[in-house]
Amino acid sequence: MTNENAKGRFGRFGGQYVPETLMPELNKMAAAYEEAKKDPEFQKEYADLLANYANRPSILYYAKNMTEDLGGAQVYLKREDLNHTGAHKINNVIGQVLLAKRMGKKRLIAETGAGQHGVATATIAALFGLECEVFMGKEDTDRQQLNVYRMELLGAKVHPVTSGTMTLKDAVNAALQDFAAHPEETFYVMGSATGPHPYPMMVRDFQSIISEESKAQILKKTGKLPDTIVACVGGGSNAIGSFANFIDDEGVQLIGVEAAGKGLHSQDTAATLELGQVGVFHGMKSVFLQNKSGQINPVYSISAGLDYPGVGPEHAALAETKRAEYVGITDDEAVAAFEYIAKQEGIVAAMESCHAIAYVQKLAPTMSKDQVIICTVSGRGDKDVAAVAKYQGVEINE
Amino acid sequence: MSKIQDALMGKKNFVAFVTANDPDLEATVENVVALAKGGADLVEIGIPFSDPVADGPVIQAADVRALKDPDLPIERIFEAVGKVREKTDVPLAFLVYFNIIVQYGYERFAADCAKYGIDGLIIPDLPTEEQGELRPYTDEENIDLISLVTTNSGERIPMIVEKAQGFVYLVSSLGVTGERTTFAKNLKEVVRDVKRNTELPVFIGFGIHSPEQAKEMAAIADGVIVGSACVAICEQYGKEAAPHLEAYAKEMVAAIRG
C-alpha cells in the first residue's frame, strides 16, 4: 500500500507544490513523522488514545434489514459514526496532534468544511491544553452553526473565511496562509488525505486503522475477504483509510463515492474524479474541477464535507491505475439514503456517508447473496437533520 | 547571462507589479508601459488566479476584479504582453500560479513566453524541488525561473540559489503579500547567505510600499519588489491608473538610487 516515494508521490500525483515559506516546516514535519512512525512509544500512545478516548475499535455492523430489503449482497457497515466526536476525523487528529506535541508545537490550526474535523481538532486541543484556531468558510459557518458553537465550547477560536466561494477550499487557503505566516510555532492539522507531502501519506496512515479493523472483523465474521468496499470521497480521508488494507487484495473491489450535487451534467457538482482534470493546487498534483484556463471551479454539494474541488493524490493514482472506481451520487439520492438508513437500520448517518449508502442501495441488488459489501459510515448525521428537514420543506426551530 | 540578469546587474533596481486584466487588458498594457517609463527596471505581470494562496488581501481583490469572467483565456494575456513589447524593452516576468501553466501546457507556455516577450517566471507555489518538470522547457526558450528565498529557508539556501536564474527573490517576512510596517530581523544575514552562494542580484519583496522602506531595503540588497502598493493604485484609479503608476515609480526609483 505504500507506493509513494520519498517525495510523497503516488504515481505521478502528490508532491509538494507550496510557497518556499512552508518548505522548511513541511520537511521538518515529514522527518518527525518518519521517526515517530518507527517509535514504539508514539505508536503505543496513539493506540491507547484510540482505544481509551476515541472508543475504538468501531464495530462492523451487519445491516440485516438493508440486506434483506435490497435482496442482494450482504451489507456490513463500518461504524465510524460511533467514534468520539461522531466521525472518522478523530483517528487522524489524534495522530497529528501527537506529532505536533512531539515537535514542541503549542498552536494548532485546522480547516473544516462540515465542522467535523474542526470539532475533532478542538477536542484533542482541549485534551492536551493546546491553543486551537479553526478556519471555516462563511457559507459553512452559516449552515453548520451547531458545530461552530461546539468548537467554541471546546475552547477553539473559529475564523469565518469570507474570500472566494466561502467554503472548504477557501478555508484550506486561509489555513495555508496562516501556516505560512507562523510556521515555527504552528502545526497545521490537515483534515483530509490532501495537500502537500507528508499530509496525504500521514493522514492515510492514521485513517488506515479503519480497514485494519474491518479486515480482521470481516474475516472473523465471514471467514473471507469482502467483495466490495464502498466509502464516500470529498478529499478522501475516510475512503483511503477504508481502502488501505485492501489495496493489495486484488479481488476486493474498491469504490469511492463522490458528491454529484445536482447531477454530473450540471454546474453544481463536486464529482472531481468523474469530471476533473489533472492539475496542481493546495500543494498537490492531483485531479481538480477547473476551467480550461486552470481556474479552480466553484463546486457544490448538499454536504459541506464533500464540496471540495479536488481529491487526495492517492485517490487520483488509484483512479488512474483503475485499482479503484469512483462514482457520483446526487443530492436527491443522498437525501433519500439519509431517510432510508434511518428507517431501515435506526441509524442517522452523516450526509457525506449517505452518498456511500445511496450507492450501496444501487449496487447490492446487482450482487449475489453470498457476496459481501463493507460500507463505511464515516460520521453521524445529527448535524444534518435541520438541513435535510429544510431540503424537504419542513421548518424546524433548533 | 540571461536578459534579466544582464539588465539588472550592478545597480539598485525597482521592480513593480500589476495584475493582468485589472480592470481590463488595455489598462494593463498602459500600466506596464507607464511603470517602465517611470523607471521600473523590471515589471511583473500577475496572471490572475482563482485561489492566490501566497497573496494578501490587496492582490486577492485584484484577482477577483481581473476574473470577472473566470474563463478569461490566458492567450489574451499573452497578446497584451505582445502589445507592451511594441512600446518598451523593459524586462518582463509573469507572476503565475503553477496550475495555469499545467493547463496551458509546459512546452506551449514557454514557447509563448518567448514569442510574446516574457523573460522570466515567478511561480509562488513551485518550490525548487518541483521545478524539474517545467525547467527543460523554460531553459529551451531562455526563460528564467526565478526562485524565492524566505527568511526561514536557512540551510536550504545553497540548494535554492544554485538553481536560481535571473535574480533571487527574497521574501521580507513570513506570510502573504501586502503592506507591512516591519520586516524580519535577519534580512541582512539572509542576503549575506544568499550572496555567499550566488552572483545573481538579490531583490527584497513583500510588504514594501513607502519610499523610505524602499531606500532602507535597497541599502541591504540589489533592489526592491513592490506589488500590493502598485495594485492599490490600480484599485483606486481603475482605467486611469497609468499616470499615477508612472509618478509612483519615479518616486520609488529616486528613493532607491538616492
The pLDDT tens digits of the residues spanning B64-105 come to 999 999 999 999 999 999 999 999 999 999 999 999 999 999
Name the residue of chain A whose CA is nearest to B48's CA: A295
ipTM of the complex: 0.96
Q: Output phi, psi for A242, to 5 deg.
A: -75, -30
DSSP codes, A60-96? EEE-HHHHHHHTSSEEEEEEGGGSGGGBTHHHHHHHH
In the stretch 126-165 of chain B, residues with CB closer than 8 A to chain A read: 126-130, 147-150, 152-154, 156, 160
A13, β-bridge pairs: A10
Could you tell me if B54 lies within 8 Å of chain A, comparing CB atoms?
yes
Catalytic residue among A4, A25, A80, A111: A111
Does the pLDDT value for residue A232 go beyond 60?
A: yes
Catalytic residue among A58, A80, A89, A237: A89
With an 8 Å Cβ cutoff, are A21 and B152 in contact? yes
Q: pLDDT-derived band of residue A2, with 50, 70 and 90 as boundaries?
A: very low
- Residue B196 has a pLDDT of 97
With an 8 Å Cβ cutoff, are A292 and B152 in contact? no
Q: pLDDT-derived band of residue B175, with 50, 70 and 90 as boundaries?
A: confident
Global confidence as pTM: 0.96
A111 a catalytic residue:
yes
Q: pLDDT-derived band of residue A114, with 50, 70 and 90 as boundaries?
A: confident
Is the model more confident about A396 or about B110? B110
* CB-CB neighbors (< 8 A) of A181 in chain B: 174-176
The pLDDT tens digits of the residues spanning B201-210 come to 999 999 999 9
The SS3 assignment for B45 reads strand
In one-letter notation, the amino acid at residue A156 is A
Q: How do A13-17 and A9-10 pair as beta strands? A: antiparallel
Does the pLDDT value for residue B155 go beyond 70?
A: yes
Could you give the CA distance from residue A114 to residue A307 in angstroms, rounded to a whole number?
9
End-to-end alpha-carbon separation of chain B, Å?
27
Q: A-side interface with B, Cβ within 8 Å?
A: 7, 15-21, 23-25, 163-164, 169-170, 173, 176-177, 180-184, 277-283, 285, 288, 290-296
Strand order in the sheet with A186-189: A157-161, A131-137, A107-112, A186-189
Helix (H) or strand (E) holding B204: strand B202-205
The pLDDT tens digits of the residues spanning A176-204 come to 999 999 999 999 999 999 999 999 999 99
B44 a catalytic residue:
yes
Q: Which of B50, B71, B148 sits opposite A292 (nearest CB)?
A: B71
Residue with cell 464515516: A378
A378 a catalytic residue:
yes
Could you give the CA distance from residue B183 to residue B208 in angstroms, rounded to a whole number?
9
Q: What torsion do the CA atoms of A188, A190, A193, A197 make, to the nearest 10 degrees?
A: -10
Could you give the CA distance from residue A67 to residue A73 in angstroms, rounded to a whole number?
7
Does the pLDDT value for residue B1 go beyond 80?
A: no
